[in-house]
């Protein structure tokens, strides 16, 4: 079979590119351990009252370590705040917070300003991630997955005290 010289070069170039990409993919999985995020647990979104999400809020877990359970629902984050009060928590400077979050209804987002925190919240799945707040200030938790007509108001606040 005759293959033109230029065409042959292109075949080599494409095969070489695929080879490099495949090697990078295999190296990232088997050498660097990169995996897709997976849910850390499952929960029935209709039965949250009988789970660890029955009483959302901040719990002290020891030396400046906290767990914050959050339930996302149209269109607010429930951090355990009293009815009619803003979704807001105070933590001391340097606090390490483990966020344990789920959604009660539709897909929501969980993004924290100025932090490496970006989770997708799917009803029925638990998302868990840690963040340390070294600088005092106000940090917003923002829903960045469009979730309906009140989406733009879906925001909560973490205040790191000095
Ligand atoms: Cu939302």
Do 56 and 126 lie in one domain? The reply is: yes
* pLDDT on residue 36: 76
**SS3 for 134?**
coil
- Who surrounds ion ligand 1 at CB < 5 A? 108, 143, 147, 154
Percentage of the residues of the chain whose pLDDT score is greater than 70:
99
Q: How confident is the model at residue 153 (pLDDT cuts 50, 70, 90)?
A: very high
Domain count, the chain: 2
Burial class (CB in 10 A: 0-12, 13-18, 19+), 64: middle
pLDDT digits (tens, 9 = 90+) for 2-13: 999 999 999 999
Do 54 and 20 lie in one domain? The reply is: no
**How far is the centre of ligand 1, averaged over its atoms, from the C-alpha of 106 (Å)?**
8
Question: CB count, 10 Å around CB of 151?
Answer: 17
Q: How far apart are the first and last CA of the chain?
A: 75
- Could you tell me the CA-to-CA distances from 83 to 93, 112, 130, 145 in Å, in that order? 27, 23, 27, 24
**SS3 for 45?**
helix
**How far is the centre of ligand 1, averaged over its atoms, from the C-alpha of 11 (Å)?**
47
Residue 81 has pLDDT above 90, yes or no: no
pLDDT digits (tens, 9 = 90+) for 28-71: 999 998 887 677 889 999 998 899 999 999 999 989 999 999 99
Report field, pTM of the whole predicted structure over 0.85: no
**SS3 for 5?**
helix
Do 71 and 114 lie in one domain? The reply is: yes
Report the length, in residues, of the chain: 162
Q: How confident is the model at residue 132 (pLDDT cuts 50, 70, 90)?
A: very high
Do 67 and 115 lie in one domain? The reply is: yes
* pLDDT on residue 60: 92
Do 20 and 66 lie in one domain? The reply is: no
What is the rounded distance in angstroms from the CA atom of residue 19 to the CA atom of residue 24?
A: 9
Q: In which domain, by residue range, is 128 found?
A: 39-160
**How far is the centre of ligand 1, averaged over its atoms, from the C-alpha of 140 (Å)?**
14
Residue 141 has pLDDT above 90, yes or no: yes
Is the bond preceding residue 138 a cis peptide, omega within 30 degrees? no
To the nearest whole number, what is the mean pLDDT of the chain?
92
């Amino acid at each position: 079979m005759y293959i033109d010289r230029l065409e042959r070069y292109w075949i080599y170039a494409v095969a070489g590119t695929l080879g490099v990409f495949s090697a990078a993919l295999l190296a990232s999985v088997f050498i660097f351990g990169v995996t897709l995020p997976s849910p850390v647990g499952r929960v029935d979104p209709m039965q949250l009252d009988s789970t660890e999400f029955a009483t959302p809020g901040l719990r002290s877990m020891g030396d400046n370590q906290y767990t914050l359970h959050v339930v996302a629902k149209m269109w607010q984050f429930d951090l355990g705040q009293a009815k009619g009060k803003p979704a807001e928590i105070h933590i001391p400077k340097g606090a390490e917070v483990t966020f344990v979050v789920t959604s009660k209804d539709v897909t929501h987002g969980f993004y924290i300003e100025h932090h490496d925190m970006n989770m997708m919240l799917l009803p029925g799945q638990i998302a868990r991630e840690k963040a340390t707040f070294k600088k005092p200030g106000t940090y917003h938790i923002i829903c960045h997955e469009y979730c309906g007509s009140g989406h733009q108001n879906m925001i909560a606040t973490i205040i790191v005290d000095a």
